[in-house]
Amino acid sequence: MKEIKTNNRMDFIDKNLLSYVKSHSDSETELLEEIKRYTHLNVLNPRMLSGHLQGRILSFISRMIKPKTILEIGTYTGYSAICLLEGLKKKDGKIITIDKNDEIYEKVKSFFRKSKSYDKINYILGDAETTISNLKETFDLVFIDADKENYSKYFDLIFPKLSKGGFIIVDNVLWSGKILNEKKDKLTKIIDNFNKKISKDSRIRKLILPIRDGITLIQKK
């Protein structure tokens, strides 16, 4: 099999076609644009940001599900959490978002304060594995976008806390296309093994979408 030369690109479609898609889709809010600008100017690896197209997809999925409880593993600069909030049930809804980066914690919190749904955000600074283990809630929607080495562990921890019919969204499952390479580096192997694990799990429905770096949609039967 031919090796995939990625140049660290996360978008698989033509740049002009991508621009067309964005221009004919809903635009970002002012808050999301502010978060995007800050991320690209001040944060390491800004490519990790969900961005316009993926952000609208997260919003759309959340609006369709209308979750009462959302869990996000990997807050980063808060962009994806704000997108997921758009579909949250207005009454008694809440999102718990977890990250361990204390360097940007206060800045991300300042973005959350600008959201009309700030009172529904529980932003936790800490280790994801420990935090998830201690959570008592049942979740309707989960977004995993954190350290890839622990994707499988996070899935196992979350699954018992996922409501029947609930959804998990997993980011970066195509890893810039490197999962097709015969000679895989350690991290690519981990992601490939996670994908294989999910594909064989009979308790769930699953679908990989080739959007940006690859998104897996999972539904608990």
Report the percent of the chain where pLDDT is more than 90.
81
Task: Give the angle subtended at the CA of 117 by the CAs of 113 and 122, to the nearest 5°.
Answer: 70
Name which of 111, 58, 106, 107 is nearest 85 in CA terms: 58
Q: How far is it, in rounded angstroms, from Cα 16 to Cα 190?
A: 32
Determine whether 100 is exposed, middle or buried from the number of CB atoms within 10 Å of its CB (0-12, 13-18, 19+): middle
* Each residue's pLDDT tens digit, 123-177: 999 999 999 999 999 999 999 999 999 999 999 999 999 999 999 999 999 998 8
- Mean pLDDT, residues 211-219: 94
- CA dist 148 to 87, 130, 135, 142, 187, Å? 26, 16, 21, 15, 7
Whether residue 208 is predicted with pLDDT greater than 70 in this model: the reply is: yes
Q: Cβ contacts of residue 2 below 8 Å, gap of 6+?
A: none
- DSSP-derived letter for residue 210 is -
User: Is the overall model pTM greater than 0.85, yes or no?
Assistant: yes
pLDDT (0 to 100) of residue 15:
84
Task: For 24, list phi and psi in degrees, rounded to 5.
Answer: -110, 15
Q: How far is it, in rounded angstroms, from Cα 89 to Cα 105?
A: 26
Name which of 92, 100, 144 is nearest 120 in CA terms: 92
pLDDT (0 to 100) of residue 27:
95
CB atoms within 10 A of CB 13: 13
Q: How far apart are the first and last CA of the chain?
A: 35
pLDDT (0 to 100) of residue 8:
52
Q: Concatenate the DSSP letters of all residues of 136-202 into one string.
A: ---EEEEEE-S-GGGHHHHHHHHGGGEEEEEEEEEE-SSGGGGGG-SS--HHHHHHHHHHHHHHT-T
Q: Concatenate the DSSP letters of all residues of 102-131 into one string.
A: TTSHHHHHHHHHTSTTGGGEEEEES-HHHH
pLDDT (0 to 100) of residue 9:
56
- Mean pLDDT, residues 198-202: 98
Whether residue 11 is predicted with pLDDT greater than 70 in this model: the reply is: no
Type of residue found at 128? A
Task: Give the angle subtended at the CA of 138 by the CAs of 70 and 143, to the nearest 5°.
Answer: 30
Domains and CATH numbers, the chain: 15-220 (3.40.50.150)
